[in-house]
Chain A
Amino acid sequence: MKKEGEIEFIKDGKRVDGRSFDELRNIKIDVGVLKRADGSCYFELGNNKVLAAVYGPREMHPRHAQDAKMAVVKFRYNMAPFSVDDRKRPGPDRRSVEISKVSREALDPVILREYYPKAAIEVYVEILQSDAGTRTAGINAASVALADAGVPMRDLVSSVAVGKVGGEVVLDLNAVEDNYGEADMPIAMIARRNTITALQMDGNLTKDEFEKGLKLAMKACQQIYELQRTALIGRYDKDESANFKDRST
């Protein structure tokens, strides 16, 4: 088993996968990939494969969980058992419950929940393949799926992680960097408003490294925002007749 320190994270100014410090992995976004859902998005971030579906606004069950003033956002982050090296036992564990909460709170600020009192807006994120950064991929996918569902939103939310490996602050950790690196800090933000809606950190960072990482992540969120926007526009640009298919079936 390799330990921190045995891996050469940085070589000739490049990372283990050849990326530079401030380089994102490849991102692929497909909008409206599921037929039954009101909105959906398939999101790839390097080797991460993530699917998000949105249902609603619809009636909130159980009724005692309704909010008389605004819609309740439900968010479920779930990993497929085959998405990781060692099979993950199906169902929610403590990690996924926490990620679901943080992700929901990352999206809450942009959803015009007050338009739908007593309703539920349900967001389901399935991690089909995991390679570090799944929660950020999930938030990105969910944000696009919400827009695809036509849920009224102030803006999109974009998310990315920064971390520290081999003494350097780097963008968008891959699995090796995440497992054996020194710190991992996922953030989500409303890119056009420079407003941060999710922030977590584990590992060890100095205050200066934290501030540098935050800036790096905020810059990358602008890039991701552009990709999300382009993907959404692309969906309604291609074939007019396919766009407004009957979703009641």
Chain B
Amino acid sequence: MGLEIMDDVRKDFVRNMLSEGDREDGRGFREYREISLKRDIINKAEGSACVKLGDTEVLVGVKLEIGSPFPDSPTEGVLITNAELVPLASPEFESGPPNEKSIQLARVVDRGIRGSGVIDVEKLCIEEGEKVWLLFLDIHVLDNNGNLVDAAALGAIAALQNIRVPNERYGLTGEETLQVHDTPVDVTMVEIDGTIVVDPTCNEENAATNRLTVISNADGSLSGLQKTGSDGMKEETIVEMVGLGIEKAGEIREKFLKVPS
């Protein structure tokens, strides 16, 4: 109970700083924290990536298994995205079954990947109606210092970009790599007292009344949106955030997701 007071103190701190044109870590309102991306760090996984977004750290691993397709899509492989907010990553996380936060995180990342057709699911078919690749994309949060969505989404695409299909394990022959057709990037912004702030920290997330994730593709089109938070937003604010999201996504894509052609 005593911690609630501290929450209010931190909220006021963030809001006071913003009103003076500053952020707690000295960044500009539209500036990301430093991003680092490491690929292929878990050998047991068929694809993996670790993203650091300032002090936020997220590990994404992809495993491929063989299973049955869904009856209504017998020629398509299956992508299953899951997120775990393990208690090691934050004092607020508790062990137990997935809660609405982890489910939302997984589903927003999943939405971006599906919306832009990153993976050609037909390519994941081994035997029509019988055997397809099941692609398990697991998001493992290691250190939560805000904006898990953007870190997880970047890690997800990076992990997908360097998948090795485990054909031998199942006595199959086939393509060893998986073509990734687009590079959706998630950009999350919050609105605090009418100010738009990109890449929020935990304190900024808590101080914000609204959060919007804008997912956009290489061609600048949108492949997903998600508003969270218990307050209303103006149309102009949303339109501004969408434009800003597309712009920021371009910068991140250019720096981290360019595939050598």
The chain A residues found within 8 Å of chain B, CB to CB, are 1, 68, 86, 94-95, 97-98, 100-102, 104-105, 108-109, 183, 185, 189-190, 193-207, 210-211, 214-215, 218
Contacts and interface: CB of A to CB of B under 8 A. Distances in A.
A189 B238 CA distance: 13
B227 A199 contact: yes
29 contacts: A94-B103, A97-B98, A98-B100, A98-B107, A100-B100, A101-B100, A105-B227, A105-B229, A105-B230, A108-B230, A108-B231, A109-B230, A109-B231, A109-B232, A183-B115, A190-B232, A193-B232, A195-B233, A195-B234, A197-B233, A199-B212, A200-B225, A200-B227, A202-B111, A202-B115, A204-B223, A206-B221, A206-B222, A210-B225
Contacts of A190: 232
Contacts of B221: 204-207
Contacts, number: 104
Contacts of A197: 231-233
B73 A203 contact: no
Contacts of B233: 195-197, 199
A193 B111 CA distance: 30
B115 A211 contact: no
Contacts of B225: 185, 199-201, 210
B72 interface: yes
Interface stretch (B56-64, B162-170, B239-247): B239-247
Contacts of A205: 221-222
B interface, by DSSP: helix, strand, loop or mixed? Answer: mixed
Given A98-B104, A102-B227, A214-B235, 9 more contacts: A1-B73, A108-B230, A194-B234, A198-B227, A199-B226, A201-B224, A202-B111, A202-B115, A214-B238
A147 B228 CA distance: 23
A210 B222 contact: yes
Contacts of A206: 220-222
Given A97-B103, A214-B238, A202 B231 contact: no
B239 A202 contact: no
A211 to B, nearest CB: 6
A101 to B, nearest CB: 5
A196 B73 contact: no
Interface of B: 1, 4, 72-74, 98, 100, 103-104, 106-107, 111, 114-117, 212, 217, 220-235, 238-239, 242-243, 246
Contacts of B107: 94-95, 98
A105 B243 CA distance: 24
A68 B233 CA distance: 26
A207 B116 CA distance: 14
Given A199-B212, A204-B222, A207-B220, A68 B4 contact: yes
B232 A189 contact: yes
Given A97-B100, A98-B104, A204-B217, A1 B222 contact: no
Contacts of B74: 1
Given A105-B229, A202-B224, A207-B221, A1 B235 contact: no
B226 A200 contact: yes
A195 B226 contact: no
Contacts of A202: 111, 114-115, 223-224
Contact of B242 (A1, A86, A98, A207): A207
Contacts of B103: 94, 97-98
B180 to A, nearest CB: 16
Nearest to B106: A94
Contacts of A207: 220-222, 242-243, 246
User: Nearest 5 pairs between A and B by C-beta?
Assistant: A195-B232, A108-B230, A201-B225, A199-B227, A101-B100
Contacts of A94: 98, 103, 106-107
A157 to B, nearest CB: 9
B224 A196 contact: no
A198 B211 CA distance: 11
A196 B234 contact: yes
A24 B114 CA distance: 27
Most A-side CB within 10 Å, residue of B73, B212, B221? B221
Contacts of B220: 206-207
